[in-house]
A and B are shown apart, each in its own frame.
Chain A
C-alpha cells in the first residue's frame, strides 16, 4: 500500500488506467471464448436435424436396431453395426497404442540417455504430424498387402489394418502425455526408491508409473476418444460395409466413416438420409463427451498431489 507520510507521490498503483492491458485481456478472453462458443454452436447445429430425425425414427429403432441401410429403399436405421464397427476398430488401435505408447513413455522418462532421447522425441513428433489420410493409404496399400503376405487372409478393406495403423497414429499421443505425467513426478521419490536399493525397473514400475497414473489414464482415454472420432483411416482402409462382426479380417463401417462417405455423396438437404448424418454425429458427440467426463473423473480419483 502507498505510504502517506512523505510528500513524494511514490505509489505502486498505476497513475492512470492502462488501456493496452484491457485490450490484451479482452483479446485473450475472446480467444478462450472461441472454443466455448464453437462447442455450443456444434451442439445446436447437430441437435436440430437430429431431433427432426428422431421424430421420424424412434430412438429405440435407432439405438437397438441391428440393420443399418438408411440410404436404400425401405432403409433400416439401426445404428448398432456402426457402433460395433467403431468400438472394434478402436479396440485394435488401443491394442497397439496403449502398450507401445506407455512403453515409449517409460523408456523416454526413465531409461533413455539424452542422446537417444534427442533422436526419439523428434521421430515421435514427426509421427504425430503425419496427416491421417496418409495413414489411411498406408494401411490400404501397404499394410493390408503385408498382412496377406504373412498369411493373414484379410479382405482388401478390413478392420485389422485400419485398427493397427490407427494404433500407430495414436502412439505419440499416449507417449507424450504419459511422459509429461512421469516427468512431473518429483525426483525425491525416485531417489528414495534407489536409496532403499530398488532397481531401475522397480523405480519405474512401482514408483513413477503409479505416481503418474492420473496423467497416464487421461492419455489412454484421450487416445480412445481420438480413435472413436478418427475418420480418414477407417474411410479409406476399413470400407463401408455396415455389419456386426468380431472378425478383424472383414470390412466394417464406423460412425465416422458413414458420415464421411454420405456427406461426400449427393444426399438431398432435408431428406431423412441427410438427417441421419446428424443423428449419427450427435451419437458420436455424446460418446466422446461421456469419455471425456470419465477421463476427468479418473484423473481426479487417481491424482497424487505432491507438495
Chain B
C-alpha cells in the first residue's frame, strides 16, 4: 500500500507539474483503501472510452485523503465514512467546496472458522464484550455460556483502516476504541489466513473479502435487537443489516467539476455504478442513492 501511495504521490507531483502547462487531463483521487478499488475500476473502464484522461487513485486512508483534499491537492476524495466536522472545518478554512456522492455500499462482515458450529449469530452486545478495550473475554464460553470452552483468537484490520474506525464506532461505541491484543493487519488476506487456520478465530473485514473467500471463512449473522441478519448485498442495500452496513462515498471538489473530464468521469461512475460495483466486488448503491447522487452532482456542476 505504501508503494501504491508513493506512486500516487509521484504521479500527483508530476501531474501538478504538468497541469499548469494546459493539458489538465489528469484527475487526482486519494483516500480510503476500501473505496480505492471502486474508483480504480471506474477509472479503468472510463479510460477505455475516453483515452487521454488519466485518473490516479491514491490510498492514504479516509482521513489522510481528506487532509489532502481540503488542502486543495486532489480533485476527488474516497471515503468509507462521511466527512467529519473537523475535516469540514478544514475544507471551509481553505475555501474548498465539495459535493458528497454515495457510490456504493459495504456490509462489514464478521467471520469465524468454518469449523465453528456454535456462533451462527452474535448480538451487538456480544461483539462489544469481545472487542471493547481491556476486554477480559478469552474464550468462547466467556461470550455465551452455551458456547464451548474454545480459546477465542481475534483478527482484525489495523488502526489506519476506515474499516477499523467504522467497526469500533458502531460496535464499541467510540471510534478507535478497541482491545489491542488481537492480530492486527492492514492486509485483509492475513485476516482470512488467520481465521481459516484457527478453529476459535473471529475476525472482521469488508464484504468483498468475504465474498472472495467463502470457502475458507464463515460469516456470522448480526443481531441488532431486531433479529439475526446475515450480511449480503441485499441486506446492505435495504438497510436491514444494521449496524454494520455502511455507504461508501466519493467527495468531489466543486471547482474541479468545471473541468469537463472530471464531470464526465463522475457521471460515468454514477451511470455505471452497478456494473463497476459488481466487477470490483462491492455492494452496489441503491437506485435512491444513485438518484440522490445524480441530483447532487447536477446541482454542483450547475453552480
B228 contacts partner chain A, Cβ-Cβ < 8 Å? no
A265 touches B186 (CB 8 A): yes
**B1–A266 CB distance below 8 A:** yes
Is B185 a contact of A240 with CB atoms below 8 Å? yes
Q: Which listed segment binds A: B58-66, B80-88, B204-212, B235-243? A: B58-66
Q: What's the Cα separation between A240 and B183 when bound, in Å?
A: 5
Q: Point out the residues of chain A lying under 8 angstroms from B59, CB to CB.
A: 266
> A69–B153 Cα gap in the complex (Å)?
18
The answer to whether B182 touches A241, judged by C-beta atoms less than 8 angstroms apart, is: yes
Closest residue of chain A to B195 (Cβ to Cβ) is: A156
Q: How many residues of A contact B (CB 8 A)?
A: 21
Interchain CB contact under 8 A, B158 and A265:
yes
Bound form: Cα–Cα A261–B1 in Å: 11
CB of A292 closer than 8 Å to a CB of B: no
* Interface mask (A236-278 → B, CB under 8 Å = 1, otherwise 0): 0001110100000001000000000101111110000000000
Which of A241, A265, A266, A267 has a CB less than 8 Å from the CB of B183? A241
Taking the complex as formed, is B273 at the interface, i.e. its CB lies under 8 A from any CB of chain A? no
Contact across chains for A140 and B176 when beta carbons are under 8 A apart:
no
State how many residues of chain B have any CB contact under 8 Å with chain A: 31
Asked whether A155 is an interface residue with its Cβ less than 8 Å from the other chain, the reply is yes
| A197 → chain B closest CB, angstroms | 58
Type the 1/0 row for A124-165, where 1 means its CB is closer than 8 Å to any CB of B: 000000000000000010001000000000011100000000
Task: Tell whether B177 is near chain A: CB-to-CB under 8 Å.
Answer: yes
B180 touches A265 (CB 8 A): no
A71–B198 touching, CB < 8 Å? no
Q: Please tell me if the beta carbons of B187 and A264 are within 8 angstroms of each other in the complex.
A: yes
Asked if residues A157 and B5 are in contact (CB atoms below 8 Å), the reply is no
Contact with A along B56-81 (1 / 0, CB 8 A): 00011101100100000000000000
Determine if B159 and A155 form an interchain contact, defined as CB atoms under 8 angstroms apart: no
- Interface residue from B160, B178, B201 paired with A267 (Cβ < 8 Å): B160
Cross-chain contact of B176 among A73, A240, A267, A268 (Cβ < 8 A): A73
- Whether the pair A156, B1 counts as a contact (CB closer than 8 A) is no
> Is there contact, CB below 8 Å, between B180 and A261?
no
B151 nearest CB neighbor, chain A only: A155
Contact A266-B177, Cβ < 8 Å, known A157-B194, A261-B186: no
A268 to B193, CA, bound (A): 27
A264 engages B186 (CB within 8 Å): yes
Residue from B1, B64, B197 in contact with A144 in the complex, judged by beta carbons closer than 8 Å? B197
Chain B residues, Cβ within 8 Å of A157:
183, 194
B184 at the interface (CB under 8 A from A): yes
Q: Which of A71, A251, A266 contacts B61 (CB 8 A)?
A: A266
A60 in contact (CB, < 8 A): no
Cβ-defined contact, A240 with B184, below 8 A:
yes
Give the interface centre of A72, A263, A264 by most chain B CB atoms within 10 Å.
Answer: A72
Residues of B147-176 whose CB lies within 8 A of A: 153, 158-161, 176
Chain A positions 175-221 with a Cβ under 8 Å from a chain B Cβ: none
A266–B160 Cα gap in the complex (Å)? 6
B298 on the A face (CB < 8 A): no
CB within 8 Å for A155 and B153 given contacts A264-B1, A266-B60: yes
Q: What is the CA–CA distance of A214 and B158 in the complex, to the nearest angstrom?
A: 45
Residues of B within 8 A of A73 (CB): 176-178
> Are B183 and A72 in contact (CB-based, < 8 A)?
no
User: Is A239 touching B183 in the complex (CB atoms < 8 A)?
Assistant: yes
> Could you list 13 further interchain pairs (A-B, Cβ under 8 angstroms) beyond the known A72-B159, A268-B60?
A71-B159, A72-B180, A140-B193, A239-B183, A243-B181, A261-B158, A261-B185, A264-B187, A265-B1, A266-B5, A266-B60, A266-B61, A266-B160
Q: Which residues of B contact A (CB under 8 A)?
A: 1-2, 5, 33, 59-61, 63-64, 67, 153, 158-161, 176-178, 180-187, 193-194, 197-198, 201
- Return 5 A-B CB contacts under 8 Å, by A number: A73-B176, A156-B197, A157-B183, A241-B182, A266-B60
